[in-house]
Homo-oligomer: A and B are copies of this chain.
């Protein structure tokens, strides 16, 4: 799909909890072609400390209304300004960006792992994977019960497994402590988005279990479309731009010390 800069209409902004916001945007072009794992780069207006755009994964697409959503966690000035955007306002968005996750073949079993706001692209990936006929398992980690969001929505597309750091919901501990990851099912692939330490722990599990593994990186970006070379990660073919050759990487290509 051709990249574009568009002034998109905000059709919804739903506060999921105190710091997570689901923002729906109506595009002019068909959104079927946005791939799970791709991201968008948003200009934040009226936020004096937000000079560059801010990147967000596409959370899901809604082809019937030419819309897609992003899941924004308010962590700083830019995301806070976005969190209060109202239905009817517009956002200047560059999209779609990046490569996207590998899509499963029919009958494959996949484990999609999301931690924190890293669950954002997992929804889109889960839905498309289910449509492709995969056996979809979704493992979500959060700090506490109250940080878990969108569980019912995820359940529509696969079997949901949960962990919390404090044990208030699901298995206590990190996602890698959850039994599903070492359980009966031999997954064809782990696909993961979350904080770096979590993705590295998942990558270690993948090595142990000899399972293919993709991770989605969130390096700091200036442009988002491959011209500034600021967002690089080390790969076995040298520095690669996370914004164009990622954000999704097969862990075999990364130079992670795991």
Contacts and interface: CB of A to CB of B under 8 A. Distances in A.
Interface string A12-41: 000000000000000000000000000000
A3 interface: no
Contacts of A47: 46, 48
A19 to B, nearest CB: 20
A48 to B, nearest CB: 4
Interface residues of A, number: 4
A46 B44 CA distance: 11
A118 to B, nearest CB: 29
Contacts of A81: 46
A51 to B, nearest CB: 8
> Is the contact region of chain A dominated by helix, strand, or loop, or is it mixed?
loop
A36 to B, nearest CB: 34
Interface string A60-103: 00000000000000000000010000000000000000000000
Interface string A183-204: 0000000000000000000000
Contacts of A48: 46-48
Nearest to A46: B46
A81 B47 CA distance: 12
Nearest to A44: B48
A10 to B, nearest CB: 17
Nearest to A45: B48
Interface in A39-60: 46-48
A48 B46 CA distance: 6
A47 to B, nearest CB: 7
Interface in A121-141: none
Q: Which of A46, A47, A48, A81 has the most CB of B within 10 A?
A: A48
A48 B81 CA distance: 12
Nearest to A51: B48
Nearest to A48: B48
A2 to B, nearest CB: 30
Contacts of A46: 46-48, 81
A48 B52 CA distance: 12
A46 to B, nearest CB: 4
Give 6 nearest A-B pairs by CB, closest first.
Answer: A46-B46, A48-B48, A46-B47, A47-B48, A46-B48, A46-B81
6 contacts: A46-B46, A46-B47, A46-B48, A46-B81, A47-B48, A48-B48
